[in-house]
Amino acid sequence: MKEFTVKIKSLTSLWTGDADRKNTTLRETGIIGSLRWWYEALIRGLGGTACDPTDTKCEGKNHCDACELFGCTGWARKFRLEVKKINNETILQLIKLREVEDVEWGLLSKTLKIIASWGAIGGKIAEFKYGLIKIVQNDLERFSLGKAQLKKYLKKQGTSVENPNITRFVFINKDLNYETTKKTKDELHFLKGQLGKAKRYFYKTFNGKPYRFFAYAENDNEYNRMIGFLSKSGVQFVKGKEIIGELK
Ligand SMILES: [Zn+2]
């Protein structure tokens, strides 16, 4: 098959514009950038390499496991993404440009599921009002993600940075209220952005109510503090490791 469709419904706006344009047309770049960001986090969590395409990126044949599918200078992306909006559904069309391995479709499918169940997509995902989606149809569902298959696939070459890594994420979808969110980001001050560094917590509302929170630590020490704090606060949260743990 040459082409796969993923239909999504956006629960909140998808930011796909840039500074000079209003959010009227859906743009592939915003979606693909965000999709890649989650894909990299997943790849790192699975033990593969993933560079930072905005900074320390790969070039040419010796590239990381994320560039293998998404491309870099001298190595073309294996698929093209077309984004169409029909009524209130957004259609993502993934069109094969070169040979794509089943495991790569499987990884993309997993990435989309993580985004829909736990995360957010598009530009400005750090802002509360953007990026919540629901998957309506996923043609990539048929591609499973097996451990053995994955082990063979990950080459662990190229440039790699350590973060974000899905195994150092926490996700909250239940019992979320404004106080918990505030306490969490006050107590875990490292999640707040600093000069030249983006914040690492993401808070989402839906219909004006707290809906979802996710954050990531950059090292084990931070991660343990995060888990310790959330455990004490009694909030139900899910660890990134548990999400990967679903792999067979
Ligand atoms: Zn790379």
User: What domains does the chain contain, in order, with CATH numbers?
Assistant: 3-153 (3.30.70), 166-244 (3.30.70.2030)
What is the distance in A from the centroid of ligand 1 to the CA of 58? 4
What is the distance in A from the centroid of ligand 1 to the CA of 71? 7
DSSP string, 156-191: --S-----S-GGGEEEE-SS--HHHHHHHHHHSGGG
pLDDT above 90 (res 130): no
What is the distance in A from the centroid of ligand 1 to the CA of 216? 21
What is the distance in A from the centroid of ligand 1 to the CA of 77? 11
pLDDT above 50 (res 124): yes
Q: 81 — phi, psi (to 5°)?
A: -110, 130
Mean pLDDT of the chain: 90
What's the pTM value of the predicted model, to 2 decimals? 0.93
Give 171's Cβ-side CA count (13 Å radius). Answer: 17
Confidence of residue 175 (pLDDT cuts 50, 70, 90): confident
What is the distance in A from the centroid of ligand 1 to the CA of 153? 15
What is the distance in A from the centroid of ligand 1 to the CA of 51? 4
